[in-house]
Amino acid sequence: MQFIYQIIELTNPQLNILQKLAKDKQVENKKYFDKLKKKTPKNLDYIMQDLHDAEFKKTDCLSCANCCKTTGPLFTSADIERISKHLRQKPQQFIDQYLRIDEDNDYVLQKLPCTFLDTDNACFIYDVRPKACREFPHTDRKKFQQITNITLKNIPVCPAVYNIVEEMKRKLPL
Ligand code: SF4
Ligand code: SF4
């Protein structure tokens, strides 16, 4: 497969065109991930960890927060327990005030951008934030080949994921 690689800078004008860039690459990325699932390199976990670390060394999430503004996490029972305790609320109060149940029966935010996002893009509840926020964007997840559908969904949201996938195709041609 022939690819044209394009790494983007994490600036607002570039964030604005992320959705278009992601759309342009959608078919190419899907084909690449289909091949990855059939021909998974033995050392993929190490490759992904390196790609993830290299991208996040130069990524300043505080100048982006696009994930917090546009998607938001799901909240597990443990998340609800921990965060409501931190806010000195009963879990049910926290649920009633901030959460709703989505079509997959998961607790998600009632509103976006996330209620806990400050104007400087910091998270009010950073130390107790949901597991999904801590792990986002999952590009250092073991057995990455099993979560390529999630990655495809995250490419238009997260410029770091976009770049990691571009770099992945360059370093790991299939
Ligand atoms: S994880 Fe991605 S979308 Fe979220 S703030 Fe960092 S670069 Fe932006
Ligand atoms: S809880 Fe914090 S990290 Fe998670 S989406 Fe909200 S502001 Fe972002």
Say how far apart CA 121 and CA 69 lie, in whole Å: 9
Neighbours of 133 (CB within 10 A): 19
State the ligand closest to the CA atom of 126.
Answer: 2
pTM of the model: 0.90
Mean pLDDT to the nearest integer, 85-98: 98
* Cα–Cα nearest to 18, from 57, 141, 26: 26
Residue nearest to atom 4 of ligand 2 (CA): 133
| pLDDT exceeds 70 at position 79 | yes
Say how far apart CA 149 and CA 13 lie, in whole Å: 27
The tens digit of pLDDT for each residue in 43-70 reads: 999 999 999 999 999 999 999 999 999 9
Q: What number does the ligand 1 atom closest to the CA of 68 have?
A: 4
The tens digit of pLDDT for each residue in 14-50 reads: 677 898 999 999 999 999 999 999 999 999 999 999 9
| pLDDT exceeds 60 at position 6 | no
| pLDDT the model gives residue 91 | 98
Q: What number does the ligand 2 atom closest to the CA of 125 have?
A: 2
Q: Residue 63 half-sphere exposure, CB side, CA atoms within 13 Å?
A: 13
